[in-house]
Amino acid sequence: MKFIIDRFDGKKNYQQTYTVEKKDIEALTLLGTLLFIKQHQDITLNFTASCRMAICGACGVRVNGHAYLACDTKMTELFEEYKDADTFRISPLSNYTVISDLAVDWEPSIENLRKVKPGLVAKSEFSEKEGCRQNQEEYDRIVGQWDCILCGVCASECNKLSADRSDYMEPFVYTRAWKVANDSRTKDPMIHVKPTVTNGLWNCVHCHECTNRCPKHISAAEDIAGLRAMAMRKGLNSGVGPAHAKSFYTDLVEDSGRLNEIRLALRTEGMSTALRAAANKE
Amino acid sequence: MQNEFAFFPGCVLTQAAIEAKMSLEAIAPILGIKLKEINGWSCCGASQAQDVDPLATLVANARNLALAEKMNLPVLTTCSTCLLMLRRAKAQLDHGEKEKINTYLAKGNMNYKGTSEVTSLLWVLAQNAEMIKSKVKKPLSGLKVAVFYGCHSVRPGKDLGFESSTNPTSFETVVKALGAEVVPFTKRLDCCGFHAVYPAEKSVMKMTSGIVNSAAESKADCVVTPCPLCQMQLDIYQDDAQDTTKSKARVPVLHLSQLVGLALGLSAKQLGLDYNVIDASKLG
Ligand code: SF4
Ligand code: SF4
Ligand code: FES
């Protein structure tokens, strides 16, 4: 069987085909397969990996256009998913700049993480001596998001990032902001919520790729919804995004429960767009 | 075959996408599918209301499901976002939220039990592809179709779960049963952008345009989608989207129910093809 792998040597992009016996790789993980190819066929093939146990987050790659954590994906799963395909396309994570073959540049993502102040700013009642305690319930609330290993799988598949990253951040950045903002020990959740609002919080297109692909079963899309609700509760509700969400809510709860699209458009963007939509429809 | 359903039209079918409702009502009796509209259903929250109040959204959908349970029927919807919202609500209710939410429903003398499943037109058709084949009057041979799934008919897999979310086949199965040719279409699993058309207009227009151009490159005669919201986005906004990216291509965008209707031999008028914004008349 064949693996067609995207290569990049710093200057040119090309695809290289590696032929392997299925029996040699079918019991391996996807990362095992990449290592097998590197060991037996091409020492120059470049990719990143470290822990081999879904903890370091280094081994995200794409198979047939969908992102996977390579060490956490069995080849048998891929054979099942792609109906015993005899060719797989392997490419680097999307929405990242490629450095070499399957290795990508994380610097812009780290920059975005910095924007939401990813570390805990603890309440003043906590001290070095007393520690920063929280009870089980408080811990359980954020433990799911705590699992994020910054593998970038969600970011690779994010439709909004693919369309334009200039007014958006990687899904896991919003998840990180949600996590610190909802940590019972945090001094002020808004330290983390506010920068998400000014950095694209309302631009998520609800494609749910992030939720779907995350190897840790985290839903960045739901965390984004959570951050939006927090922002609105604190009065950060100007702009078309909040107006759009609120009009659904008002219709749902206060009116007949069947939303009127024309009124919706009016509330969100003003008369001209609504009339244009109506005119287009006629 | 389960052929009777509690029908959840969703807001879009009662308002903007009149042609979706017309074509659905035209094909259902021919296929032997009985759709009984859920009396008093409300908006599912449209993947928006939870941003304001997740609890109210869950209560609204628990109520929708409870209404269907009273009819002793599984729920069927065509809108993929309604499908996701209803299925997600059901999963939440069945995994721990039921009791709490029922205290709200009790105020309206209602009760959620968990007895009605939630399915979509696409899934029911895919499960009955042989039956559809037998009903085809005018096989769509030679018609090149780009199938556009739309996010919420496959993602997130944990809430939808009917088939693989990275390599789904239900739609191809149905379109092939109608005799049409499915063309390779790189954007078949992409997002149309509908849900962020106001806050992220520039990105959304780019996404919409990319999908239309990908279909045109595949030499498709039309794009077909099971989701009326995707249809609306790709059809009504197509001119705007193509203008923003300075693309010339235009491709008609049909509802799944319209394509099925064509194969069943129904007229363009019965299927509301004249309501489609990008001219679809030559398909009828
Ligand atoms: S749901 Fe939002 S954050 Fe998640 S992948 Fe889609 S656009 Fe990105
Ligand atoms: S949210 Fe999930 S997919 Fe995204 S970086 Fe974290 S672990 Fe990876
Ligand atoms: S190698 Fe560490 S997560 Fe895969």
Q: How far apart are CA A39 and CA A15, in angstroms?
A: 19
Question: Do A146 and A192 have their domain in common?
Answer: yes
Question: Do A196 and A80 have their domain in common?
Answer: no
Closest approach of B109 to chain A, Cα-based (Å): 18
CA quadruple B51, B54, B60, B62: dihedral, nearest 10: 140
Instruction: Quote the crossing angle between the two packed helices A190-197 and A220-233, to the nearest 10°.
Output: 100
Question: Do A258 and A186 have their domain in common?
Answer: no
CA distances from B145 to B108, B133, B253 (A): 47, 17, 10
- Report the mean per-residue pLDDT for chain A: 88
CB atoms within 10 A of CB B105: 17
Which residue range is the domain that position A142 belongs to?
106-233
ipTM for this model = 0.91
Question: Do A113 and A213 have their domain in common?
Answer: yes
Closest CA to B250 of B214, B224, B212: B212
Q: Indicate the pLDDT class of residue A250, thresholds 50, 70 and 90.
A: low
Domains in chain A: how many in total? 3
Domain boundary among A103, A126, A156: A103
What pLDDT is attached to residue A255?
A: 53
Q: Quote the tokens at residue B74.
A: 């599984």
Domain boundary among A198, A217, A233: A233
Pocket of ligand 3 (CB under 6 A): A 49-52, 54-59, 69-71
Q: What is the DSSP letter of A273?
A: H
CATH of the domain at A169: 1.10.1060.10
The answer, yes or no, to whether residue A46 has pLDDT greater than 80, is yes
- In this structure, of A94-103, A259-268, B9-18, the range with the lowest mean pLDDT score is A259-268
The answer, yes or no, to whether residue A149 has pLDDT greater than 90, is yes
Closest CA to B32 of B224, B264, B284, B226: B264
Domain boundary among A53, A84, A103: A103
Q: How far apart are CA A229 and CA B196, in angstroms?
A: 16
The pTM is what?
A: 0.89
* A261 neighbourhood in chain B, CB within 8 Å: 11-12, 15-16
Q: How far apart are CA A146 and CA A175, in angstroms?
A: 9
In A, minimum Cα distance to B49 occurs at A249
The answer, yes or no, to whether residue A35 has pLDDT greater than 80, is yes
* A256 neighbourhood in chain B, CB within 8 Å: 42
Pocket of ligand 1 (CB under 6 A): A 157-160, 171, 204-210, 220-221, 224
What pLDDT is attached to residue A181?
A: 97
A130 vs B116: which has the higher pLDDT: B116
* A259 neighbourhood in chain B, CB within 8 Å: 11, 43, 46
Question: Do A112 and A99 have their domain in common?
Answer: no
The answer, yes or no, to whether residue A281 has pLDDT greater than 50, is no
Closest CA to B151 of B101, B197, B206, B194: B194
Q: For ligand 1, atom 8, which residue shows the shortest CA distance?
A: A158
Ligand nearest to the CA of A172: 2
Cβ–Cβ contact B61 with A under 8 A: no
> Which residues fall within 8 angstroms of residue A210, CB to CB, at 6 or more apart?
A154, A155, A157, A158, A171, A172, A218, A219, A220, A221
The answer, yes or no, to whether residue A249 has pLDDT greater than 70, is no
What pLDDT is attached to residue A259?
A: 37
The answer, yes or no, to whether residue A65 has pLDDT greater than 80, is yes
What pLDDT is attached to residue A258?
A: 43
What average pLDDT score do residues A127-142 get? 89
Q: Which of A161, A170, A214, A222 to mutate to test the pocket of ligand 2 (most atoms within 8 A of CB)?
A: A214
In B, minimum Cα distance to A224 occurs at B51
Closest residue to B198, CB basis, from A217, A241, A281: A241
Question: Do A97 and A128 have their domain in common?
Answer: no
Sequence ranges of the domains in chain B: 4-121, 128-283
Cβ–Cβ contact A267 with B under 8 A: no
Question: Do A69 and A88 have their domain in common?
Answer: yes
CB atoms within 10 A of CB B231: 32
Q: Indicate the pLDDT class of residue A44, thresholds 50, 70 and 90.
A: very high
Q: How far apart are CA A136 and CA B27, in angstroms?
A: 55
Q: How far apart are CA B42 and CA B49, in angstroms?
A: 12
Question: Do A227 and A110 have their domain in common?
Answer: yes
Q: Which amino acid is at A55?
A: I
Hey, what CATH topology would domain B128-283 get? Rossmann fold (3.40.50)
Q: Which CATH architecture has domain B4-121?
A: Up-down Bundle (1.20)
What pLDDT is attached to residue A266?
A: 37
Q: CB distance B200–A252 less than 8 Å?
A: no
CA distances from B172 to A85, A139, B123, B200 (A): 18, 45, 12, 31
What average pLDDT score do residues A168-181 get? 98
CATH of the domain at A64: 3.10.20.30
Q: What is the pLDDT along chain B (284 residues), one digit of tens a residue?
A: 889 999 998 888 877 788 999 999 999 999 999 999 998 888 887 767 666 677 778 888 998 999 999 999 999 999 999 999 999 999 999 999 889 888 888 877 888 999 999 999 999 999 999 999 999 999 999 999 999 999 999 999 999 989 999 999 999 999 999 999 999 999 999 999 998 888 889 999 999 999 999 999 999 999 999 999 999 999 999 999 999 999 999 999 999 999 999 999 999 999 999 999 999 988 87
